[in-house]
Amino acid sequence: MSTAEPARLAWFKSSYSGNEGGACVEVAVTPDAAHVRDSKAPARAQLAFRSPEWAAFVDFAAEC
C-alpha cells in the first residue's frame, strides 16, 4: 500500500458529482493504491485499495 500521507495526496471527485452537496466520495490515486474518502468529512478515515482491486471495482462499476 502507499505510504503517502493523506495531506499530500491529490484528491478529486467524480465528474458526475454535482455541487448540490449530497453523498460524494473523493479518490486519490498513487502508483500502488487508490485512496477513497468521504468528501464531506475529509479528515475522517479513508480506505485504500491496491491497484488490481481498484481496477476490478472500476470495471464492475462501469458495467452497471
Tens of pLDDT, residue by residue, the chain (64 residues): 444 565 689 999 876 666 666 668 899 999 999 999 988 888 888 999 999 999 999 999 999 8
pTM above 0.85, yes or no: no
What are the extents of the domains in the chain?
6-63
Integer-rounded Cα Rg, in Å, for the chain is 12
Q: How far apart are CA 53 and CA 26, in angstroms?
A: 17
Q: How far apart are CA 17 and CA 49, in angstroms?
A: 21
Q: How far apart are CA 9 and CA 63, in angstroms?
A: 28
